[in-house]
């Protein structure tokens, strides 16, 4: 079942009166439960593509359908609401809320959705246990290592049961051990929750684990390889 | 959840938040205390106006108000007194004769309003009996050879029946108060000299003491060196009921001092029976009926209107009309206090906006992330608004508590502005102030603080809402 359908999207930026084509006529589909790595050199359009899929940026032309619904026509609070209910985000620099504990950070999106306190607590503890942080639920981000913070970020992204998770270079700031742990957790959660993961990355360890690898260059798809046996 | 995050955000940068909280606290303390001080002054003035000088309502002959001739006594006196005797709004009332007179002693003279009162009835309406000075006699208590008169401290000075003298008794008392021996020795230069006015005595003190000594010990020295001459005889000349000049000699039984030196200078109280006979007035001839109400100002207008409508031949005046300055203050002081607080909070608002702007600019990336993961602009706005309101509320609540404590302490012991007492008392204000403030003032300030907090959050919140999540997330 298709979770995301991208139909010939183009993104043009104007910088110093020059037009820069960041994404140039990309069409893609992503299936439920798929783990995709988008690779490519810096400036190839990975982050721009991810931002458009995540509804953070609008394409200059083309259409993006999530669960059959076009998000390119959504504006303002509709789009914010859509992101909250359907998309999980993991950022390169974790971006946890420093004044909240690991548990409170995980519950944050569920709270925004208006879930009950009990439901939030059960789900956040379940996810923090799944990412191996059951002992650190009450620790604030400043008291956690980079790898632990990224695991909390993954737990937060999954907490509200999104249709898919977008991760922009999630392992860029992590060491090998932390990267390995994060990938194992992703794999475990993917099996358990059947959520689509899309990572933009430079990291070969991520590429090796991905079932599908899309290579971008100059805003265009250079290759789209679906692997068997990975993961 | 938003409130919980906002509260935690307030404490992200503790030193910065504490500095803003301290400035709000100090501003609030200053505002509350100034309001308390002014309120204490105004309250005291209003109490003096009602309980010492005017009462709540006065009834007089309308003609008396035009030229104050003593022949214009109240018409329908019996009907009026029967009416107010049965009126549920009335707490107490009394009647007075008021005659313009010239008072003369062997040493001085001055013009006075001679008030003929029934001492027992007067006590129920006025507190003048509580204001007899120590060493200044008593309230119509002691038998005198001549009819007794109660005069004010300032009139006593003008009639030269008050003087100042440094003698051994005064010097001993000052030693007991542990004044330095050097100061006491300096005072010996003016020992046993009789000064007949405040001004002359103060001038003598200035010549022998330093200004620091006067500032520190002056009020004690003046108080101890003061001598009254009770039982002094005063002859009053006045126009009687027939329009002829009459004389009557009285003997001072007591000297009072209110917070209004003009009242002290111009009022003297005698028994109405004596004055009535001396001036040739018949029974039940009075110039004014003073009424004290049970519920104070809440019955003031309705009852005065009721009296006006019932007795067309009497002029009915409320204390607010008789003392318009005090009336104006009673009506507008609350507005004035809130204006003071408003100005203070307006100035503080700039500091709050600046702090919040810094807090927002430091968190641009985080705010971008919050909007990216689904926090609506309304919630972001609410969060920043609540942070500002919390910051403002903490400071102002602390300020109100400290201000209330300061008012509580100074309200009990009083603040003595003795060095500028003359000026205050000349315009009817006490030199000793007992700051006070009502609880409704604090409720009003709390509402004001919340409004200021909300208004101060608008600029920082707008700044936050203008951020594009994608651009904010790119910030390193």
Q: Measured in Å, how far apart are chain B's first and last C-alpha atoms?
A: 27
Beta strand pairing call for B90-104 and B109-117: antiparallel
Predicted confidence (pLDDT) at residue B211 exceeds the cutoff of 70: yes
Do A193 and A225 touch, CB atoms closer than 8 A? Answer: no
Do A118 and B412 touch, CB atoms closer than 8 A? Answer: no
- Best probe of the B interface among A80, A107, A159, by most B CBs < 10 A, is A80
Mean pLDDT score, B305-325 = 91
Euclidean distance between CA atoms A163 and A196, whole angstroms: 7
Do B336 and B436 touch, CB atoms closer than 8 A? Answer: no
Euclidean distance between CA atoms B103 and A104, whole angstroms: 85
Which residues neighbour B264 within 8 Å (Cβ) at sequence distance 6 or greater?
B152, B153, B154, B155, B256, B257, B258, B425
Predicted confidence (pLDDT) at residue B422 exceeds the cutoff of 70: no
Interface of B with A (CB under 8 A): 1, 5, 8-9, 11-12, 365-366, 369-379, 469-470, 473
Do B125 and B95 touch, CB atoms closer than 8 A? Answer: no
To the nearest whole angstrom, how far is the Cα of B447 from the nearest Cα of chain A? 29
Q: What percent of chain A has pLDDT over 90?
A: 41
CA-based nearest residue to A130, from A184, A89, A169 = A184
pLDDT tens for each residue of B119-165: 999 999 999 999 998 878 889 887 778 999 999 988 998 898 888 88
Euclidean distance between CA atoms A35 and A1, whole angstroms: 14
Q: What's the burial of B257, exposed, middle or buried (CB within 10 Å: 0-12/13-18/19+)?
A: middle
CA-based nearest residue to B360, from B450, B224, B459 = B459
Euclidean distance between CA atoms B98 and B113, whole angstroms: 6
Return the top range by mean pLDDT from A96-100, B211-215, B281-285, B323-327.
Answer: A96-100
Mean pLDDT score, B384-400 = 92
Confidence at residue A191, expressed as pLDDT on a 0 to 100 scale: 78
A172 and chain B in contact, CB less than 8 A: no
Q: Contact B372/A57, CB-based, under 8 Å?
A: no
Predicted confidence (pLDDT) at residue B399 exceeds the cutoff of 60: yes
Do A166 and A35 touch, CB atoms closer than 8 A? Answer: no
Helix, strand, or coil (residue B284): coil
Indicate the Cα dihedral angle B30, B36, B39, B43, nearest 10°. -160
Complete DSSP assignment for chain A: -EEEEEEEEEEEEEETTEEEEEEEEEEEEEETT-EEEEE-STTSSHHHHHHHHTTSS--SEEEEEETTEESTT--HHHHHHHHHHHEEEE-TT----TTS-HHHHHHHHHHHHT--HHHHHHHHHHHHHHTT-GGGTT--GGGS-HHHHHHHHHHHHHHT--SEEEEESTTTT--HHHHHHHHHHHHHHHHHH--EEEEE---HHHHHH-SEEEEEETTEEEEEEE-SS--
How does DSSP classify residue B75?
A: T
- Closest Cβ opposite residue B374 in set A51, A76, A83: A83
Helix, strand, or coil (residue B110): strand
Among chain A residues, CA nearest to B366: A95
To the nearest whole angstrom, how far is the Cα of B386 from the nearest Cα of chain A? 15
Helix, strand, or coil (residue A168): strand
pLDDT tens for each residue of B242-297: 888 999 999 999 999 888 888 999 999 999 999 999 999 888 899 999 999 999 88
Beta strand pairing call for A87-90 and A164-168: parallel
Among chain B residues, CA nearest to A87: B373
How does DSSP classify residue A73?
A: T
Q: What percent of chain B has pLDDT over 70?
A: 97
Confidence at residue B476, expressed as pLDDT on a 0 to 100 scale: 66
A99 and chain B in contact, CB less than 8 A: yes
Lowest-pLDDT choice from A178-182, B313-317, B341-345: A178-182
Per-residue pLDDT band for B421 (boundaries 50, 70, 90) equals low
Architecture per CATH, domain A32-61+77-226, reads as 3-Layer(aba) Sandwich (3.40)
A20 and chain B in contact, CB less than 8 A: no
Residue B207: both structure tokens together: 């010549």
Predicted confidence (pLDDT) at residue B424 exceeds the cutoff of 60: yes
A97 and chain B in contact, CB less than 8 A: yes
Q: Contact A112/B5, CB-based, under 8 Å?
A: no
Token pair 């500002």 is found at B388
Please count the helices (runs of H) and the strands (runs of E) in chain B.
20, 14
Euclidean distance between CA atoms B112 and B152, whole angstroms: 10
Token pair 């957790």 is found at A185
Q: Per DSSP, what are the bridge partners of residue B115?
A: B98, B269
Mean pLDDT score, A107-111 = 91
Confidence at residue B380, expressed as pLDDT on a 0 to 100 scale: 92
B419-428: burial string, b at 16+ Cβ within 10 Å, e else: eebeebbeeb
A108 and chain B in contact, CB less than 8 A: yes
Helix, strand, or coil (residue B475): coil
A103 chain-B contacts, CB cut-off 8 A: none
Q: What percent of chain B has pLDDT over 90?
A: 45
Confidence at residue B148, expressed as pLDDT on a 0 to 100 scale: 94
Q: Contact A84/B373, CB-based, under 8 Å?
A: yes
Which residues neighbour B15 within 8 Å (Cβ) at sequence distance 6 or greater?
none
Radius of gyration of chain A (CA): 17
Which of the pair, B334 or B83, is modelled with greater confidence? B83
- Best probe of the A interface among B9, B359, B362, B373, by most A CBs < 10 A, is B373
Q: Contact A89/B377, CB-based, under 8 Å?
A: no
Q: Contact B469/A76, CB-based, under 8 Å?
A: no
Instruction: Give the count of alpha carbons within 13 A of A151, CB side only.
Output: 31
Here the ipTM equals 0.88
A137 and chain B in contact, CB less than 8 A: no
Confidence at residue A144, expressed as pLDDT on a 0 to 100 scale: 92
Token pair 């001085």 is found at B108
User: Which H helix or E strand runs over B4?
Assistant: helix B2-10
A94 and chain B in contact, CB less than 8 A: no
Mean pLDDT score, A136-158 = 91
Beta strand pairing call for A212-217 and B148-152: unpaired
Euclidean distance between CA atoms B351 and B359, whole angstroms: 12
Among chain A residues, CA nearest to B468: A56
Confidence at residue A187, expressed as pLDDT on a 0 to 100 scale: 84
Confidence at residue A125, expressed as pLDDT on a 0 to 100 scale: 93
Residue A17: both structure tokens together: 């009166």
Q: How many CB atoms lie within 10 A of CB B414?
A: 14
A108 chain-B contacts, CB cut-off 8 A: 1, 373
Measure the CA angle with vertex A19, ends A91 and A219; round to 5°.
50
Per-residue pLDDT band for A5 (boundaries 50, 70, 90) equals very high
Confidence at residue B428, expressed as pLDDT on a 0 to 100 scale: 67
Output the CA–CA distances (angstroms, integers) from residue A204 to A2, A37, A38, A69, B16, in the order listed. Answer: 26, 10, 11, 33, 45
Measure the CA angle with vertex B101, ends B98 and B105; round to 5°.
135
Mean pLDDT score, B345-370 = 90
């Amino acid at each position: 079942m298709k979770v995301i359908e991208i139909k010939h999207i183009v993104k043009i930026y104007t910088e110093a009166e020059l037009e820069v084509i960041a994404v140039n006529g990309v069409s893609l589909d992503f299936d439920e439960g798929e783990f995709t790595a988008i690779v490519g050199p810096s400036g190839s359009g990975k982050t721009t593509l991810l931002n458009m899929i995540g509804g953070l940026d609008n394409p200059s032309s083309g259409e993006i359908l999530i669960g059959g619904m076009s998000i390119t026509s959504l504006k303002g609070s509709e789009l914010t609401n859509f992101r909250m209910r359907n998309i999980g985000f993991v950022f390169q620099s974790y971006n946890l809320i420093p004044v909240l504990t690991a548990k409170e950070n995980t519950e944050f999106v569920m709270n925004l959705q208006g879930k009950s306190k009990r439901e939030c607590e059960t789900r956040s503890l379940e996810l923090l246990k799944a990412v191996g942080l059951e002992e650190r639920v009450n620790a604030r981000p400043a008291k956690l290592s980079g790898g632990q913070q990224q695991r909390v970020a993954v737990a937060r992204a999954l907490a509200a049961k999104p249709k898919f998770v977008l991760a922009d270079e999630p392992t860029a700031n992590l060491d090998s051990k932390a990267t390995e742990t994060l990938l194992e957790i992703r794999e475990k959660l993917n099996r358990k929750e059947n959520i689509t993961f899309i990572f933009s990355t430079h990291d070969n360890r991520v590429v090796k684990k991905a079932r599908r690898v899309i290579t971008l260059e100059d805003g265009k798809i250079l290759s789209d390889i679906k692997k068997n046996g990975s993961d | 959840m938003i409130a919980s995050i906002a509260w935690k955000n307030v404490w992200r940068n503790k030193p910065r938040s504490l500095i803003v909280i301290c400035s709000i606290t100090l501003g609030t303390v200053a505002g509350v205390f100034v309001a308390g001080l002014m309120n204490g002054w105004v309250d005291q003035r209003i109490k003096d106006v009602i309980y010492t000088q005017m009462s709540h309502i006065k009834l007089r002959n309308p003609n008396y108000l035009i030229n104050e001739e003593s022949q214009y006594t109240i018409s329908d006196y019996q009907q009026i007194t029967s009416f107010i005797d049965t009126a549920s709004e009335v707490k107490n009332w009394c009647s007075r004769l008021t005659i313009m007179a010239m008072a003369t002693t062997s040493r001085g003279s001055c013009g006075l309003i001679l008030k003929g009162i029934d001492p027992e009835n007067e006590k129920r309406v006025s507190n003048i009996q509580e204001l007899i000075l120590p060493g200044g006699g008593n309230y119509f208590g002691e038998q005198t050879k001549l009819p007794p008169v109660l005069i004010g401290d300032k009139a006593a000075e003008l009639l030269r029946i008050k003087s100042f003298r440094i003698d051994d008794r005064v010097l001993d008392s000052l030693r007991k108060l542990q004044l330095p021996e050097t100061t006491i020795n300096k005072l010996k230069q003016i020992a046993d000299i009789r000064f007949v006015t405040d001004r002359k005595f103060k001038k003598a003190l200035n010549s022998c003491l330093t200004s620091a000594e006067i500032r520190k010990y002056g009020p004690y020295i003046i108080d101890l060196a003061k001598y009254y001459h009770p039982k002094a005889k005063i002859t009053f000349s006045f126009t009687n009921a027939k329009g002829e000049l009459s004389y009557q000699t009285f003997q001072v039984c007591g000297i009072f001092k209110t917070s209004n030196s003009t009242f002290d200078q111009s009022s003297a109280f005698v028994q109405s029976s004596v004055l009535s006979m001396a001036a040739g007035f018949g029974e039940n001839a009075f110039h004014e009926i003073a009424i004290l109400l049970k519920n104070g100002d809440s019955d003031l207008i309705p009852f005065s209107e009721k009296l006006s409508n019932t007795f067309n031949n009497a002029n009915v005046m409320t204390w607010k009309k008789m003392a318009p300055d005090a009336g104006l203050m009673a009506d507008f002081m609350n507005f004035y206090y809130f204006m003071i607080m408003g100005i203070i909070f307006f100035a503080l608002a700039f500091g709050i906006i600046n702090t919040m702007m810094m807090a927002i600019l430091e968190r641009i990336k985080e705010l971008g992330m919050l909007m990216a993961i689904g926090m609506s602009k309304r919630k972001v706005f609410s969060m920043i608004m609540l942070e500002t309101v919390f910051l403002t509320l903490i400071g102002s609540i602390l300020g109100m508590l400290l201000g209330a404590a300061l008012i509580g302490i100074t309200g009990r012991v009083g603040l003595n502005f003795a060095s500028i007492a003359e000026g205050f008392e000349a315009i009817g204000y006490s030199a000793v102030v007992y700051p006070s403030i009502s609880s409704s003032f604090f409720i009003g300030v709390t509402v004001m603080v919340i409004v200021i907090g909300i208004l101060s959050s608008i600029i920082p919140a707008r700044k936050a809402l203008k951020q594009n999540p994608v651009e904010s997330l790119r910030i390193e």
